Amino acid sequence: MILETASSNDGAVSQTHPVWMVQGRRPAGTARADNLEPRGIVGSSPAMKAVLEQTAIVAPTGSTVLIQGETGTGKEVFAQAIHALSRRSSGPLVTLNCAAIPAGLLESELFGHERGAFTGAVSQRIGRFEMANGGTLFLDEIGDMALDLQAKLLRVLQEQAFERLGSTRTSRVNVRVIAATNRDLAAVVESKEFRADLFYRLSVFPISLPPLRDRREDIPALTRHFVALYSERMGKLLEDIPSETMDAMAAFDWPGNVRQLRNFVEHGVIISNGSEFRPALDQLRTATRGALPKANRTLEDATRDHIVDTLKESNWVVGGRNGAAARLGIARTTLLSKMRRLGIESMAGDILSKRPSSRPAYASAG
């Protein structure tokens, strides 16, 4: 079986084209990681092998899966793989980015609405749960869902039943849910921003995707993969990657993970001439951890930089009257959660470990 699923940014029903090949016949109810030839997932590091094994274990079960990882680590790709290896692979894979839909419209997107349910509802519309009936619903950025809607989602997960907006008739579906987030949901639950019961229901089988800096041995293979991909698309023949290029790319932290690496390689293929891949390495030499070329900066990048600058001003102390949390006007636990989510906590640990005192000021003060 050859299947790849890809979806548009607005969460449309996925199309199919090659990405995963299941070699040979898979016995009912089983999937083995060593029987998979990943076409869209590149990596043979121990960290990636462990994730692939988890993917193969949970895929045929039909259980709810929670995929956690930093931005750009490939959460949607793994959701696609789980669907492709499941017994629901012949059914639809529907995706919805919870952060991309305004809070007032998200309930309608999930459950649908009847004509006249609200201003502008000129016709009946089914929601993503009904679209995904018999298949899989992938809810990306689940950590950004409003608390009031979380209770309604919990009911659907437990009972596979819901009502469209404006209707009293209960609709029933058979849908597997895969959720993903770049936030530390356990910390978000502690700060009362996410329901504990929904968290427990979603995390039946959690999968944590490693950041690219924790699997540097995969960077050469990823680079070659993307160079070949974009060379073919652009009609170029880039056969050589100089060792100094590969060394520089392997040494960089890639705060944007595989997505940032992919965009960097695409830009490099565009500007390369002849048979050698010659990207703009000066972007890597001048970039600091958490800082991207200005053209590629996102709101998350700006938030990370602002928090890091404030931490520097407070001498990496989070709590207390003069700590970073007070300077930012947020609770200490909220700041710690953001630091974990944005990858700043490990950065702080590296800096503080080099000081004469090993006291972790960023975590203990206040």
Report helix, strand or coil for 231.
Answer: helix
Taking 60 as the threshold, does the pLDDT of residue 34 lie above it? no
Residue 196 CA to residue 170 CA, distance in Å, equals: 26
Q: What is the pLDDT of residue 351?
A: 52
What is the mean predicted confidence (pLDDT) over 308-328? 82
Taking phi first (over 0 means left), then psi (-120 to 50 degrees means alpha), and beta for anything else, what does residue 299 get? Answer: alpha
Buried-exposed string 61-93: b where 16+ CB fall within 10 A, e elsewhere: beebbbbbbbbbbbbbbbbbbbbbbbebbebbb
pLDDT class for 317, splitting at 50, 70, 90? confident
Taking 80 as the threshold, does the pLDDT of residue 345 lie above it? no
Q: What is the mean pLDDT of the chain?
A: 81
Taking 70 as the threshold, does the pLDDT of residue 344 lie above it? yes
Residue 301 CA to residue 276 CA, distance in Å, equals: 31
Q: What is the pLDDT of residue 312?
A: 84
Residue of 273 and 21 predicted with greater confidence: 273
Torsion on CA atoms 317, 322, 325, 328, rounded to nearest 10: -130
Residue of 272 and 340 predicted with greater confidence: 272
| Range list of H helices, 203-287 | 219-234, 243-251, 257-271, 282-286
Between 6-20, 32-46, 169-183, 252-266, the lowest mean confidence (pLDDT) is in: 6-20
Instruction: Please give the distance of CA 156 from its chain centroid, rounded to a whole number.
Output: 23
DSSP structure class, residue 194: S
What is the mean predicted confidence (pLDDT) over 293-311? 72
Taking 80 as the threshold, does the pLDDT of residue 175 lie above it? yes
Q: What is the pLDDT of residue 287?
A: 58
Helix, strand, coil proportions of the chain in percent (round to 5)?
Answer: 45, 15, 40
Q: What is the pLDDT of residue 288?
A: 45
- Work out the burial of residue 148: count CB atoms within 10 Å of its CB; fewer than 13 is exposed, 13-18 middle, 19 or more buried: exposed
Taking 60 as the threshold, does the pLDDT of residue 2 lie above it? no
Contact by Cβ (8 Å): 151, 195? yes
What is the mean predicted confidence (pLDDT) over 293-316? 75
Q: What is the pLDDT of residue 346?
A: 59
Q: What is the pLDDT of residue 4?
A: 34
What's the full length of the chain, in residues? 366
DSSP per-residue string spanning 12-54? PBPEEEEEEEE-SPPPTT---GGGEEESS----SHHHHHHHHH
List the Cα angle 243/244/248 in 5-degree steps: 115
Question: Distance between the two ends of the chain, CA-based, in angstroms?
Answer: 56
Residue of 363 and 204 predicted with greater confidence: 204
Among 279, 272, 273, CA closest to 247: 279
pLDDT class for 15, splitting at 50, 70, 90? very low
What share of the chain has pLDDT > 90, as a percent? 54
Residue of 193 and 37 predicted with greater confidence: 193
* Per-residue pLDDT reduced to its tens digit, 60-115: 999 999 999 999 999 999 999 999 999 999 999 999 999 888 877 899 999 988 88
Residue 17 CA to residue 3 CA, distance in Å, equals: 6
Report helix, strand or coil for 154.
Answer: helix
Which of the given ranges, 290-294, 328-332, 359-363, has the highest pLDDT on average?
A: 328-332
* Per-residue pLDDT reduced to its tens digit, 203-262: 999 999 999 999 999 999 999 999 999 999 999 999 899 999 999 999 999 999 999 999
Rg (CA), the chain: 22
Q: What is the pLDDT of residue 297?
A: 59
What share of the chain has pLDDT > 70, as a percent? 79
Q: What is the pLDDT of residue 307?
A: 87
pLDDT class for 350, splitting at 50, 70, 90? low
Taking 60 as the threshold, does the pLDDT of residue 143 lie above it? yes
